[in-house]
Every structure is written in structure tokens, then in C-alpha cells.
Structure 1
Amino acid sequence: MKSLKRLASIVALAGAFAAVAPSAAHAWGYEGHRVVGAIAAKLLKGSVAEGQVNALLLPGETLESIAVWADCVKGDWCGPQTQEMVDYVAGNPKHAEYHYTDVPFQLSAYHDHGAGTSEVDIVQSLKGAITVLQGKDTPATNPHKLTKRQALLLVVHLCGDIVQPLHVGAGFVGKDGKFVVPKTQAEIDSVNVFDPRGGNNLLLDEASTSSSGDKLIPPLPDVAKAAAGDKPRTTRPFHSYWDSTVVTYAMRRSNTRTPEQFAQYAIDTKPLVAKSQGDVLTWPYQWADDTLAVSQVAHKDVKLGAASTQTSKSTGETYKTWALTVPDDYAVPSSAIAREQLIKGGYRLAELLKAIWS
């Protein structure tokens, strides 16, 4: 039920508040996910894992190009659905829930069965896909009969999702209009504790947010602007800001225009990305905990404003939204976080694939 309500609110918000560009529908946007794939591909050059990955790719595919596949199956914004996509969706009716978990951002760790988690959330889905790639899957660990190729498509994408702060840490709102920490799932009852759907129901004023960001991080001079016919937004969901806007700012700050350029920039900076520890099946937990800490920073000094009730034109469902304000210089720290997190995603993906296929 939660996932259906979350999806309904996202669709409703898209129709009510903005003409959403295709890339805004995906975590990290097309560019962000492709950055993760491109970084990993560079780091895998010459390794055993590179050969294993290539054996699962179709002609013309790369880790960069498949990084958005798990989002493309949700609709037709990437083009017509292939038979492979149709079969995957039919076999994975809850696939939209694989991309996130909603742990209260104030907490320090992800725990199985904790508030905001589920049996098919990003931590559990990554574990399952890793098991399939290891060749150790069983009917219990692989109930949807993922193939190794499908598992790879998922792992490449989810390694990007799990470093996006709002795909792990969520802000829940109490009836007093302040962020609260529910202890159990039952407390999130839309009476005393409201679920803003991973930040999709927290709305930034688009004009002021964009104006502040563009002043601090101006567009690159040779990057084409949006089409003149695009309908301007009035508000932008906080989740969408973290999906796409921060990636745009991160690429501006690195003076890169494509995922390939950003990936090379990232490697050239020789980043210090901490190694994951222990059994690879524990790595999704480690990554979620790390991203929770980042989510606390992402929520620092953001302020909840007035609440309003919206009605979905498509379903008739009513839901609450809250105005949200961020510091005037928010584009600077948020883009720095995005840059660091995207790099983590690429390095961890490469690390994981090498650990599976050493």
C-alpha cells in the first residue's frame, strides 16, 4: 500500500506542479547514473570482472548505457519497452520499490524490519541481486527468478541509487509540522506521523531555488539551455532536486558536460573512497549506513513551512504537501555532496564486481 501511495503522489505532483523532463523521473537523472557506470567501467579495465560483465551485455551496451535500465522499465520515457523489460516487470511486480529505503534520516544505521524499511527495499534487493551474480541464489533468495543479466542490470543501477541521500534517509513529519523519528512502521499513520514519500511531498520554490543556485554555480557557457517551449515549474520536490539539480551543479563545478568526461575527471582526482569490509552481502548495509550520515547533512538547516492538502487528478487520493526552504547557499554543499556520492557509487560498483568475479 505504501508503494502505491508513494507512486500516486509522485504522479500527482508531476501533473500538478510541473512539466517534468524525463531525466527528472530517475534517481540521479540519466547523467548521474551513467556517471556511476562510466566510472566503474574505467576502473574495471583489464580485469576478470570486465570480461564477466561483457559476457552479460548485449552488443553495443556498456556499464554506462545500462545504468538507467532499471528506471526505464517504469515507463516509456526511454522509448518503447523491449520484451526483456516487459518480462522483468511481469516477474517483479514490486520492482519500483527496489530503488530506495525510507529510514528516518536522523538515525545512524539501517536495521532489518525498522521503520521505513521493507523486504524488497534497496538493501534487500541489492543483496538478492548480488547473490544471483555469485551463483549462490536459491528459491528463497531469488523468489523472482532473476537471471544473471537482470541481476547485473539491477546492481549497476542500485549502486547509484544507494548513494543518493534521499533514497536512504527520509524525513517524516509530525502533526506539529516538524521532522520526527517514527520508531515503528505502525506509527506512520498519516494522523500523527506523515510520510512525505521520500521528499516528493516537500516542495521547494523553483524560482528562488534556481536563482540562488545559478548565481553561485553559473551554467557553463557552451551548454544548451532548456527548450524555450518548456513549461516552467513553480515548485520542485526536494527529492527531484537531489535526483537531478545537484547533479547538474556537480557537473558544472567539475567543468564537465558528459558522464564520460565527469568519470574521467573523478578518476583523475584520485579520490579516497573507503574500502567496503567483510562479506559482500553486508556491503549494502554498510553503504546504507554511510548514506544515512550524508542524508543528515542533506537535511541540515532545511525548514518545513506551511502544509497543504492536494488531490490527485488521476486517483482522487488526497495527500499532504509541505513548503520547504533551504539555505541560500544550499547549491554549494549539496553539489559537493553529489560529486562525492557519485564517485563513491562508481568506485563501489567496480569494487563489488571485482569481488564477485576476482
Structure 2
Amino acid sequence: MKKLVCVLALSSAFASFDALAWGHEGHRVVGSIAQKLIKGSNAEKQVQALLLPGETLESITNWADEAKAGVGYPAATPEQAEYTAVNPKHDEYHYVNIPFQSLHYHHGHVGTTEHDIVQTLSQAIAVLQGKTGPGANPHNFTRRQALLLIAHMTGDIHQPLHVGAAYVGKDGSFVVPKSRAEVDAVNIFDSRGGNNLLLDDDKLSALSKALIPGEDKPLPEGAKKWTTRPFHSYWDSTLVNYAMRRIATKTPDEFAQKVLGNPDNFSNCEICPVLPINTATDPSIWPYEWANDSLEVAKRAYDDVKPGKITAQTNRKGETYYTFNLETTPNYPVPSSAIAKTQLIKGGHNLAAVLKAIWP
């Protein structure tokens, strides 16, 4: 990209919030693609056996986010409450914060945990494979819970900011911490997966209007317009909207039909082709491969993006955290939305592939 940057402003009104990878519609896109790809297979029969009446593979893709039942989420169902009660760190299952400059996911390195998305996905796949014991299933997931998590987190792991994270030095540059202890909020700051990197929402909308076909979706009734948009939210939801607009679709089902109906849907994408699945390996290892692929994509997401002024903020709990205004190229919506489109399609293909591998 051309090294011309557009400085985007920071608002001190920003409040901390949880990540919601791909947003509601993005996850349903992944589920809709996978649902169509497993149609008529044994995998479809086995999935259906674990679903409740009225549920589909597409409709369950947001279950794990809805289980959080926090601000912006519906009230948890009894099933979700039961799951969260015995999984107190469930909200941390959705991501891993590897420095985006890294080449591979290495368990035990900076940003990884015993319950990060790679570990959790691998364990959920193992459960559906029939593996038991504390090593294979340390969280005691039921088979239905394992399916619910796989349906959601296969989408999550293809959102590049849920794998490749930005760490910011006190001089305002992206850095690679060598240890967790170095991320001390004095010399090195954790951007929380891009949540603490802020874009000016009005400027973002103006840029997209000139570059992306279609119109921004109207705000839900009663919703307050953001002054700043976290970089993570931009990748979670804004780019899903842009990706759908770019191929003239309005619903997850329309998106899935259009990309699956066109055998050349990768002919003009920036990252091609769909990540090949190594069928010689155990499917429970595939999340490692997906994470490595998303880590490479995260480098593209942060290409020509630069943190600016640092500002101390206070969250709802009275805790201090730090945010940075963000500088990026004026044409950033174009390559980023193309990447998002490809990642959504990858997520759908890989969700279908792992379900077929579990249930051939």
C-alpha cells in the first residue's frame, strides 16, 4: 500500500468491552457455508443428532458468544448458564494473543494459554472424535457443547485479530515482547487484540462510502452511534458488512449461496486459495494449522497501520488501561474487506471439512 496515512482521532469516552469475533452475521456466514457443504453427508446427520428442535448449524454459530450474557448479549439460557458456571474462563476460549509478527503458533509462548482458542478447539474436536480423559477433555465438554464450540470458534480462529495481536511500545511502535512479564503497561502495552486501537468512526464511514459499494447498515433502534471504533470491532463486524456489500448480498445465506455458486470465487482474492487441509493429520491438529494461516493474514491486517497518541482510560471496574489512536491508509477498507471475505469463506470451508473428517 502507498505509505500515505490518514490520522484518525481518539475519543476519551471509549469503554472496555469483550470481543465478538466476526459479529453475529459473520459467524452465520461461516455456518451457512458449512451447512451447505455438508448437506447429504454423514456429518450432516451427526450434527443434526446433537441439535435441538429448530436449530441448524448456521443458527448455533453464535451460541458461545451469547453464553457470555454481558453488555450487548441476550440473557443466557439455562443451558448456557450451566456451561459458563463450570467454565469460568469461557470468554478466553475465543482467541489467542500471539504477536502478529510471529511466524507460528507455539504453545507456551507469549500470548498463549492453556485455554486459548487453539487448545480449546483441539479439545472440542477430540471430544467429537470420542477421545476421553483429562488430557483430551480437561473441561469435560459434552458432545453437544463440543459441537457448539467448534461451530463458533472455527469462525473465530479465521478472524486474524483473534490470533495475531498487537503489542505497542512506549514510543508508539509495534513491538514483539519476549516474555509475558515484558507486557507491563509501562514499556510495552497489550492492545487487547486491537480493542485498544481506536478509529474515528465518522471518518471511517466517509472513507468506506467512497470505496465500498452500497450503504452502511442503519443503527438498531435505540443504539448509540460510536465516536470511535476499536480496530477489533472493525474486523469483527464492519468488514463483514463491507464484504457482503462488495458482492451485493444482504444476508449470510445470500453470501453463502453466492460464493459457493461461483467456482471462481477466489479468482480475484488477495489471499488464495482456501487453506488446504492435510487429511493425513489428526483433525484435532488442524486448529494449529488454522492459527498459523491466520497469523500470516494478521500481518496483512496490520500492514501500514500505525498506533498514535496514547491515552489513559478507566473501565467500568475503575481499572486503568491505555488506548491509542490509529493511523492507517485512506484506502484501507478495500484490501481489508477483501481479506475478510476470504477469511469468512475459509472458515466455512474448514468448518465443513473438520465435521466431515470427524464423521466421514
Q: TM-score, normalised by structure 2?
A: 0.90
1:271-295 CA-to-partner distances (Å, cap 9, x unmatched) read 5423211221221111000000100
What does residue 337 of structure 2 align with? 335
Pairing of 1:266-281 with structure 2 (within 5 A): 266-270=259-263, 271=266, 272-277=273-278, 278-281=281-284
Structure 2 residue aligned with 1:237, among 226, 230, 240? 230
CA contact 1:39–1:347 (8 Å) conserved in 2: yes
Q: How far is the alpha carbon of 1:53 from its aligned partner?
A: 0.3
1:297-339 CA-to-partner distances (Å, cap 9, x unmatched) read 0000012111111122x21111111000211111100110000
1:235-293 CA-to-partner distances (Å, cap 9, x unmatched) read 11000100000000000001000000001111122254232112212211110000001
What does residue 216 of structure 1 align with? 211
Q: For the structure 1 residues 120 and 229, does the alpha-carbon distance in structure 2 shift closer, same or farther, using more than 3 Å as the test?
A: closer
What does residue 316 of structure 1 align with? 318
What does residue 219 of structure 2 align with? 226
Q: How far is the alpha carbon of 1:133 from its aligned partner?
A: 0.5
Q: How far is the alpha carbon of 1:224 from its aligned partner?
A: 5.9
CA contact 2:33–2:256 (8 Å) conserved in 1: yes
Residues matched between the structures, number: 340
Larger helix percent:
1
Q: For the structure 1 residues 227 and 132, does the alpha-carbon distance in structure 2 shift closer, same or farther, using more than 3 Å as the test?
A: closer
CA distance in 1 between partners of 2:112 and 2:26 (Å): 24
What does residue 16 of structure 1 align with? 13
CA distance in 2 between partners of 1:196 and 1:178 (Å): 12
Mean CA deviation greater in 184-193 or 97-106: 184-193
What does residue 10 of structure 1 align with? none
Q: Which amino acid aligns with 2:242?
A: Y
Q: For the structure 1 residues 192 and 78, does the alpha-carbon distance in structure 2 shift closer, same or farther, using more than 3 Å as the test?
A: closer
CA distance in 2 between partners of 1:315 and 1:82 (Å): 26
CA distance in 1 between partners of 2:345 and 2:138 (Å): 32
Q: Which amino acid aligns with 1:336?
A: A
Q: For the structure 1 residues 137 and 226, does the alpha-carbon distance in structure 2 shift closer, same or farther, using more than 3 Å as the test?
A: same
1:143 aligns to 2:144 (yes or no): no
Identity %: 58
Q: For the structure 1 residues 14 and 132, does the alpha-carbon distance in structure 2 shift closer, same or farther, using more than 3 Å as the test?
A: farther
CA contact 2:275–2:293 (8 Å) conserved in 1: no
Q: Which amino acid aligns with 2:274?
A: V
1:186 aligns to 2:181 (yes or no): yes
Instruction: Give secondary structure in 2 for the equivalent of 1:41.
Output: helix
Q: How far is the alpha carbon of 1:232 from its aligned partner?
A: 2.2
CA distance in 2 between partners of 1:227 and 1:53 (Å): 33
CA distance in 2 between partners of 1:81 and 1:273 (Å): 35
Instruction: Give secondary structure in 2 for the equivalent of 1:190.
Output: coil
CA contact 2:68–2:76 (8 Å) conserved in 1: no
Q: Which amino acid aligns with 1:302?
A: V
Unaligned runs of 5+ in 2: 1-9, 267-272
What does residue 58 of structure 2 align with? 64
What does residue 117 of structure 1 align with? 112
CA contact 1:41–1:350 (8 Å) conserved in 2: yes
CA contact 2:219–2:225 (8 Å) conserved in 1: no
1:131-169 CA-to-partner distances (Å, cap 9, x unmatched) read 101011212321221100000000010000000010000
What does residue 270 of structure 2 align with? none
What does residue 95 of structure 2 align with? 100
CA contact 1:310–1:319 (8 Å) conserved in 2: yes
Mean CA deviation greater in 195-204 or 269-278: 269-278
CA contact 1:18–1:231 (8 Å) conserved in 2: no
CA contact 1:19–1:232 (8 Å) conserved in 2: no
Q: How far is the alpha carbon of 1:84 from its aligned partner?
A: 0.5
CA distance in 2 between partners of 1:296 and 1:177 (Å): 18
- Aligned-pair RMSD on alpha carbons? 2.0
Instruction: Give secondary structure in 2 for the equivalent of 1:263.
Output: helix
Q: For the structure 1 residues 116 and 215, does the alpha-carbon distance in structure 2 shift closer, same or farther, using more than 3 Å as the test?
A: same
Instruction: Give secondary structure in 2 for the equivalent of 1:17.
Output: coil
Q: For the structure 1 residues 185 and 43, does the alpha-carbon distance in structure 2 shift closer, same or farther, using more than 3 Å as the test?
A: same
Q: For the structure 1 residues 254 and 44, does the alpha-carbon distance in structure 2 shift closer, same or farther, using more than 3 Å as the test?
A: same
What does residue 133 of structure 1 align with? 128
Unaligned runs of 5+ in 1: 1-12
CA distance in 2 between partners of 1:19 and 1:142 (Å): 32
What does residue 349 of structure 1 align with? 351
